Amino acid sequence: MKTRQLGTSGLAVSELGFGCMGLSHGYGPATNEKDAIAVIQKAYELGTTFFDTAEVYGQGANEQLLGKALHHVRDKVIIATKFGFQNGRNTDGLNSRPERIRQVAENSLRYLQTDYIDLFYQHRVDPDVPVEDVAGTVKDLIAEGKVKHFGMSEAGVQSIRRAHAVQPVAALQSEYSMFWREPENEIIPLLQELGIGFVPFSPLGKGFLTGKMNANTEFDKTDWRNVMPRFSKENREANKTIVDLVTKIATEQNATPAQIALAWLLAQKPWIAPIPGTTKMSRLEENIGGADLTLSDDDLAEINKALDNITLQGERYPAILAGLQGK
């Protein structure tokens, strides 16, 4: 797989990374350890060198999986993890105080079986802690050799600018896909200006863009899509238009809808590296195939014109979580 530079930071990653969250958190019961490790290792064998995890994905359980799977090739991979929640649980509120950041860093180093973190993200902006203090703490960790690069997740324009002035932000991780294009308004121009890489999570629209989901799909009771307005039965039916579009393009390109969605993202900017995740070997191989698909300028113009004419229904997050989106 080809590599990409995340902005001007000097951080080189495989053009498609692997999002590990779903192996432990968010989309139903955790995958058993043996199968989870096998998927991570297969991703590496197929050329993936960029792996994404976080403390909050099972209170360290996901990081431990990654440590077990990749410790023997540690010098050949880029590992990103995150801090920012109290007690390592997203239900306990935010906490990016300096002492908490340091505590998470030490835990992550232990769980990941490593002595450095390649990319350390603030998971969500904490309104109670000046972002300059957050950036300064990570700057200190970088000086100590425990962290290589600083990242932010779901941060807004003001927070990114303020943090970047203290410690350069190597990458922003936020949701971006055909199913959620809001970053095109302000975020992508800012990242271009400041030389910051972009790591889109949920590049397949939390599974919606694969074409494998419809209004009748039933989610596991622990799957958080149950509470996301955009994934209500009515909105899944209303948003079928975009699935039809992606499926049509996939048929024309002799590809799958997931591959089209990933190829479209990769074509947006050369410093974008999406992190699709999966628990299945077949889906992993399918996703990686998206990196081999090149859409022409005419293809992209046709797709974007069609996307501009689609109005998607439903908010991205329920109101209780909306406040976690950065300013």
Give the alpha-carbon dihedral of 252, 256, 260, 262, to 10 degrees.
-170
Catalytic, out of 27, 44, 57, 317: 57
The Cβ of residue 194 has, within 10 Å, a number of other Cβ atoms equal to 16
Is 44 a known active-site residue? no
| Tokens found for residue 239 | 């948003």
Rounded CA-CA distance 68/156 in Å is 34
CB burial of residue 1 (10 Å; 0-12, 13-18, 19+): middle
Least Cα distance to 104 among 93, 113, 95 occurs for 95
Helices and strands in the chain, H and E counts: 12, 9
| Tokens found for residue 51 | 């792996």
CA distances to 12, 273, 277 from 7, rounded to whole Å, are 9, 10, 23
The b/e string for 227-259 (b: 16+ C-beta within 10 A; e otherwise) is ebebbbeebbeebbebbebbbebbeebebbbbb
Give the alpha-carbon dihedral of 202, 48, 78, 274, to 10 degrees.
-20
**Residues taking part in catalysis:** 57
